[in-house]
Amino acid sequence: MSLIDSGPGGADTLQLQVRAIRLQAERTHSFELSHPDGALLPPAQAGSHVDVHLPGGLLRSYSLAGDPQDCSHWLLGVLRELDGGGGSRAMHESVRVGDLLTLSAPRNAFALAPAANHSVLLAGGIGITPLKAMAHVLAAQGSSFELHHCVRSPQYAAFATELDGIVPTGRLHRHFDGGVPAQGLDIAELLASPAPGTHLYYCGPAGFMQACADASRHWPAGSVHFEHFKPPISTAPAMPAGSFEVLLAHKGVRVQVQPEQTIIRAMELAGLRVPTSCLSGLCGSCKTNYLEGDVEHNDYILSDEEHKTCMTLCVSRARSPLLVLDL
């Protein structure tokens, strides 16, 4: 991460044209985006997401659901949330074929491990989007994998036709629970006995994420990968009291962070801009290396290993009086 001059049309953004919008499932549309001139898009690994600048000034992160090996277009899958903050409504109601949208460059905090013996892809609802991209890559590599898609009913199974064509026979499992998770896939049973070299990837709504986390606690370190698309409601980090000082090592600038103030906010007030998107510890936009200090990590994206050197400035804080950032 670096200090940047980000924003619509800035150096880290692209203007793409909406080429197609397709109904994928109940309340779910896909949006196919490509360069207005037909130029190839930057490579995006499976698991990547982009920030989309939406009509009305909203900014939302969406996973790329297309085939990462195809740079002719990017594909988003968007569920229209009934109680969301307006981002999915804006995508569904205001975006039309032919429109130009401003997007960030892709970021990936949910990458495939390079050498797994077997991969278990576990999706809840619209959480299928990054896992579909992974399925494209694993299938092309001839890698061993299985994909489980947990949804309310067949009407909610987005990208069903495409997945049927991608995933090898017998490796795609759809689980319908009628809206009652206990009637669906027994996640604890599925994840009870991980075979050596198996990696797990999961993405979905909060309850699904919790079930997957609980069921995979005994898996070997480094073999479990996940991406939240909303902060877990019940465990939203409380902002600890106490101020501390942030030193930007390379700039030589010091910023005081007040109680109930985020590092991002304190830096903004000091005229220092950093890239942000979710402001919830979910997307990794504000991930920054730190050189010194005792960090309280409140994000949902970085691994324990990454926490030794990196932090998210939007939600994480210092317990120590001084925090030195690699900026």
Residues within the interface to ligand FES (CB under 6 A): 276-279, 281-286, 299, 312, 314
User: Least distance from C-beta 55 to ligand FES, angstroms?
Assistant: 21
- Strands 244-248 and 49-53 come out as unpaired
Residue nearer to ligand FES on the CB measure, 198 or 285: 285
Amino acid found at 180 = V
Residue nearer to ligand FES on the CB measure, 62 or 145: 62
Q: How many other C-beta atoms lie within 10 A of the C-beta of residue 294?
A: 13
Residue nearer to ligand FES on the CB measure, 119 or 280: 280
Q: Report the alpha-carbon angle 17-63-14, nearest 5.
A: 35
- Tokens 């690699």 locate to 326
User: Least distance from C-beta 49 to ligand FES, angstroms?
Assistant: 10
User: Least distance from C-beta 196 to ligand FES, angstroms?
Assistant: 33
User: Least distance from C-beta 239 to ligand FES, angstroms?
Assistant: 14
User: Least distance from C-beta 85 to ligand FES, angstroms?
Assistant: 15
Residue nearest to ligand FES (CB): 314
Residue nearer to ligand FES on the CB measure, 119 or 262: 262
User: Least distance from C-beta 97 to ligand FES, angstroms?
Assistant: 29
- Can you list the alpha helix ranges (DSSP code H) found in 63-127? 87-94
Q: What share of the chain is helix, strand, coil (3-state, %, to 5)?
A: 20, 30, 50
- Rounded Cα distance between 37 and 30, Å, is 21
Residue nearer to ligand FES on the CB measure, 212 or 282: 282
Residue nearer to ligand FES on the CB measure, 224 or 313: 313
- Strands 145-151 and 172-176 come out as parallel
In sequence order, the 6+-apart residues with CB closer than 8 A to the CB of 61 are 49, 50, 51, 52, 229, 277, 278, 282, 283
